Amino acid sequence: MSLNIPLRRAVAPARVQASTTFICSQCRHATLLRRPKRPYTFTQLITLSDGSAFTHRTTSPAPVYRSTRDTRNSLLWNPSSSKLLNVEEDEAGRLAAFRAKFGRSWDANTPTEEELIKKSEESGDQAAAAAAEAAAAEEEEDNLLDLISSFGQEEQASGKKKD
Amino acid sequence: MAASESSRYLARSLPRAFAPSARPQSICLRRNLSDQASSKAAPADLEELESTGSLHATPSAPDAVKSFDPISKSRGRKKQLPRSRYQFRSPKYDRGPLHPHQPPKPSDPSSRLYVPGPFSLPRVEQTYQSTVTSDILTLCYVHNPPGFKPPPKAPRLRSWDDSSPYHKNRPLRGPRGGDVLRLLRKPINFNNIPKLERITIHSYVKKAAQDNSSWLHVAGMAVQAISNARVETFKSKTSVATWSIAPGRDSVAVKAELRGEDMLHFFGKLVDVVMPRIKDWEGVKGTSGDSSGNITFGLEPENVALFPEIEVNYDMYPPKMIPGCHITIHTSAKTDKDARLLLSALGIPFYGKMVD
């Protein structure tokens, strides 16, 4: 007599997996060790606007990067710099052209470069004149000092004479 | 169990060791200085042995000396030498801690996860080491006279007053005024000076869900170009009906996480080149930060285009598709105040009301 083992069949219909758009092939007991991907990098020299330079690694293939605007010449990083504070942005010379055409009554308070130069020249002349005046004044003072110093002596001399 | 077994074996083997044995275990080769050498020497005939040992240097042939020139030999070699017979290849899969084949550590050059480097000493790191650390240490110095004892602080988690029998075995109460336990700020000394830990560049591209995936590709390439690191994409977690974004369906965000050398190069580039060129920019808002030392600010798409990597190859990117991004700077500072001190020392301007 052989024991007849009834073949067990799944009573329930086989589970149909819900179709997913992305297939996750990773099994539970093995984690794929993916090689880390790194973009190719170059060494680039960054030249700042004041001429200082440093190298760094970038994905950009240009070997040198010259910056026109950076921490060395922006007002936010140099709040005390007067040079950056009152810079008149007149790169194309349009403001100068406007002034040449229409005069400068609209911004008469701000001196142009020519006026500044003239002023400096005038101030040079004035300085020479002032120096001459000062010399003259010194001479006068010397005369006065002589007078003052000689004032009592004359009296004394006269007193002595009186004595 | 193992301990008990070993003690059992020991108990069995101990009397065996002390029992007297019939024959000597081995010939005693030890000789004292006072012994006669001949009395202990083996009586075997020694004529067969060589009189000189192998340690004596034999004079090498003069031809061999003249012909020995490894440099010219290696230069004259046409092909590369064959590699050694055995080369270790790390297993491709990590099969758990109990599997006999374990992958090597990620720091091992033979590992699949190995990232070589660092290859350079970034400028930001040099500045930090030479000037910023000492400045921060000076600024954060608090003088305590000798014999000073700080007043004892109340415990961060309060215990329940036993006014009710139901208070027994309850977990401790949270702090007053809210359930958030802030990070503990320890006084800053030479070994916990705040430093940059990582920078996260994150970009949420809503058009990727509305239009097509090209927005995400362009954003990923732009972020990769400015950061030197591969990006990860993320699906939306929330649903935004007005942008037709459903959770778990649409990939909408791109993130790059920078550490170490990449981070420092990115930070230096951001501060020295990109930030000064942003039009009408006052700085980072003083209110930003998560009150545990991480500070976030955003860049508009036109500001992202100012990065030299994008500028050099501007035509590659469709101009409308250049993404804006959020940049989070994670520092090891425990409060926003310290983080702001570090970042302003490294050159990031802050404006407005400072919230610490």
- Asked whether residue A92 is domain-assigned, the answer is no
Final residue before a domain boundary, out of A56, A77, A98? A77
SS3 B15: helix
Residues of A in contact with B230 (CB under 8 A): 36-39
Q: Measure the CA–CA gap between B171 and B142, rounded to whole angstroms.
A: 36
Per-residue pLDDT of chain B in tens (356 residues, 90 and over written 9): 444 555 566 566 555 555 555 555 555 566 676 666 555 555 567 777 777 667 777 777 888 888 888 899 889 989 888 877 788 899 999 999 999 999 999 999 999 999 998 999 999 999 999 999 999 999 999 999 999 999 998 888 989 988 999 999 999 988 888 888 889 999 999 999 999 999 999 999 999 988 889 999 999 999 999 999 999 999 999 898 888 888 888 899 999 999 999 999 999 999 999 999 999 999 999 999 999 999 999 999 999 999 999 999 999 999 999 999 999 999 999 999 999 999 999 999 999 999 87
Class of residue A43 by CB neighbours under 10 A (exposed 0-12, middle 13-18, buried 19+): exposed
Q: Residue A123: its pLDDT value, please?
A: 63
Q: Measure the CA–CA gap between B290 and B328, rounded to whole angstroms.
A: 10
Q: Residue B235: its pLDDT value, please?
A: 94
Is 80 exceeded by the pLDDT of residue A125?
Answer: no
Set out the domains of chain B in order of their start, with CATH numbers.
197-351 (3.30.1440.10)
CB contact under 8 A, A46 and B91: no
**Cα torsion at B221, B224, B225, B229 (round to 10°)?**
-150
Is 50 exceeded by the pLDDT of residue A54?
Answer: yes
Q: Measure the CA–CA gap between B287 and B356, rounded to whole angstroms.
A: 8
Is 90 exceeded by the pLDDT of residue A17?
Answer: no
- Asked whether residue A9 is domain-assigned, the answer is no
Closest of B251, B259, B283, B271 to residue B200, by C-alpha: B259
Element (H, E) at B269: helix B260-269
Searching chain B, which residue's CA lies closest to the CA of residue A60? Answer: B309
Number of cross-chain residue pairs from A and B with Cβ atoms under 8 Å apart: 105
Q: How far is CA B119 from CA B261, B271, B297, in A?
A: 8, 22, 29
Is 80 exceeded by the pLDDT of residue A26?
Answer: no
Selecting from B94, B120, B308 the residue whose C-beta is nearest the C-beta of A31 gives B94
* One-character DSSP codes across A26-90: --TT-EE-PPPP----EEEEEE-TTS-EEEEEES---SEEE-SSSTTS-TTT-TT-HHHHT----
Exposure of B216 in the CB half-sphere (CA atoms within 13 A): 19
Task: Enter the tokens of residue A115.
Answer: 């006026």
Selecting from A29, A58, A74 the residue whose C-beta is nearest the C-beta of B308 gives A58
Q: Measure the CA–CA gap between B349 and A39, rounded to whole angstroms.
A: 30
CB contact under 8 A, B113 and A36: yes
B186 near B314, Cβ under 8 Å? no
- Asked whether residue A25 is domain-assigned, the answer is no
Class of residue B240 by CB neighbours under 10 A (exposed 0-12, middle 13-18, buried 19+): middle
The angle formed by the CA atoms of residues A117, A120 and A124, to the nearest 5 degrees, is 140
Final residue before a domain boundary, out of A54, A77, A100? A77
Q: Residue A145's domain spans which residues?
A: 112-151
The total domain count for chain A is: 2
What is the arithmetic mean of pLDDT over A2-10? 48
- Asked whether residue A140 is domain-assigned, the answer is yes
What is the arithmetic mean of pLDDT over A104-116? 64
- Asked whether residue A71 is domain-assigned, the answer is yes
The angle formed by the CA atoms of residues A124, A128 and A131, to the nearest 5 degrees, is 135
- Please give, rounded to a whole number of angstroms, the shortest distance from the CA of A66 to a CA of chain B: 10
- Please give, rounded to a whole number of angstroms, the shortest distance from the CA of B310 to a CA of chain A: 8
- Asked whether residue A4 is domain-assigned, the answer is no
Q: Residue A25: its pLDDT value, please?
A: 61
- Asked whether residue A44 is domain-assigned, the answer is yes
Question: Is any Cβ of chain A less than 8 angstroms from the Cβ of B343?
Answer: no
Q: Residue A136: its pLDDT value, please?
A: 74
Is 60 exceeded by the pLDDT of residue A7?
Answer: no
Average of per-residue pLDDT values in chain A: 73
**Dihedral pair phi/psi, residue B331, rounded to 5°:** -115, 165
Task: Enter the tokens of residue B10.
Answer: 């020991």
CB contact under 8 A, A57 and B265: yes
Closest of B290, B277, B280, B271 to residue B337, by C-alpha: B290
CB contact under 8 A, B112 and A46: no
The ipTM, to two decimals, is 0.71
Is 60 exceeded by the pLDDT of residue A163?
Answer: no
Task: Enter the tokens of residue B220.
Answer: 């990923």
The string of pLDDT tens digits covering residues A127-147 is 677 777 777 777 776 776 676
Task: Enter the tokens of residue A130.
Answer: 């002032």
The angle formed by the CA atoms of residues B59, B62 and B66, to the nearest 5 degrees, is 130
- Asked whether residue A102 is domain-assigned, the answer is no
